[in-house]
Amino acid sequence: MSVSAQVFSKASLVEAVPRAATSMLVRGVPVDAVARYSESHLGNPTPASADRYDVGTAGRIGTLVSFSGGSQLYGENEPANYLYSLVAGVARGYRMTPDGRRQVVAFYVPGDLFGFELGGEHSFSVEAVSNSKARMIKRTLISLAAARDHDIAADLVSGIARELRRNQQHVRRLGKTAPERVASFVLELAERLSKDGMVDVPMSRRDIADYLGVTIETVSRTLTQLTNLAAISMYGPRKIAIRNSGLLQRFASDAPE
């Protein structure tokens, strides 16, 4: 997915979101409808969970929906009527090529807000990797809320910024060698899912290979190489302990200059 964007200060974006929402969506909507939404959907925000993932004010509104592993949250070219805030589990974004190959374009973990589209349709599909829960937030309603609530506007800006940053990082990753891509992805997993240095890897090696544009054999071979270098330790196929993050960064060519 190609992304083009200008760089704005976060403060200016936070101010711009309510103005844009008001201009595009509030026009023609009765003021009492906005007030009813505010009273019924915002009220007193739910206290932040003790969990490490804080989805912010925007992620605590909407309807909580459960998805079994392998089920679809939304499909490519379907109307983009909702944003999704993942509460539990992991989801993958993907598209199918004309020749039937699957391209994994994103992974979403608890705390991620996704479903942003420039147009009215989704540009790729998203399905649950494992049993998952997400809050479905109607785009028109959250835009109305953002026009009135600075915290919700800030959450939307942060969600867009994080999505853009991950896209940029992934584009840079695809310019690396195949082993470097795998090591870089392990670093990303550690950043997003690590608990006390341990990473429970929810996606399969096929998922990882389709995301990185490498073979399953390359994924397995690189993990073995990183284990032999004592950069990581493997506990079964889906649990990784980070042993030497500096070495892992150098292997991934991600070490700071």
Same domain? For 42 and 165 the reply is yes
**Which amino acid, one-letter code, is at 119?**
G
- What is the Cα–Cα distance from 217 to 114, expressed in whole angstroms? 31
- What is the Cα–Cα distance from 60 to 170, expressed in whole angstroms? 28
Same domain? For 37 and 156 the reply is yes
Same domain? For 200 and 233 the reply is yes
Alpha carbon separation from 246 to 31, 32, 239 (Å, rounded): 55, 56, 20
Same domain? For 138 and 217 the reply is no
Number of domains in the chain: 2
Same domain? For 185 and 139 the reply is no
Listed in sequence order, the residues at least 6 apart from 34 whose beta carbon sits closer than 8 Å to its beta carbon are: 26, 144, 147, 148
DSSP state of 121: B
Q: What is the CATH number of the domain that holds 226?
A: 1.10.10.10
DSSP state of 129: S
- What is the Cα–Cα distance from 38 to 45, expressed in whole angstroms? 11
Among 172, 197, 220, the domain boundary falls at 172
Element (DSSP H or E) covering residue 137 = strand 132-138
Q: What domain range includes position 246?
A: 176-251
3 inside domain: no
Same domain? For 39 and 141 the reply is yes
Predicted pLDDT at 151: 84
Same domain? For 72 and 94 the reply is yes
Say if CB 108 and CB 123 are below 8 A apart. no
Same domain? For 102 and 217 the reply is no
Same domain? For 141 and 181 the reply is no
pLDDT tens, position by position, for the chain (257 residues)? 333 332 223 333 334 433 433 333 333 333 333 333 333 333 333 333 323 334 455 556 788 999 999 999 999 999 999 999 999 999 999 999 899 899 999 999 998 999 988 889 999 999 999 999 999 998 888 878 888 888 888 888 888 888 888 889 999 999 999 999 999 999 999 999 888 779 999 999 999 999 999 999 999 999 999 999 999 999 988 999 999 999 999 999 865 53
Q: What is the CATH number of the domain that holds 68?
A: 2.60.120.10
Among 122, 147, 172, the domain boundary falls at 172
Predicted pLDDT at 148: 85
Among 172, 195, 223, the domain boundary falls at 172
Same domain? For 14 and 110 the reply is yes
CB-side neighbour CA atoms (13 Å) of 117: 21
Q: Cα dihedral sign for 217, 186, 253, 104?
A: positive
Q: Tell me the H-state helices in 87-212.
A: 139-148, 150-173, 178-193, 205-212
- What is the Cα–Cα distance from 2 to 4, expressed in whole angstroms? 7
Same domain? For 127 and 181 the reply is no
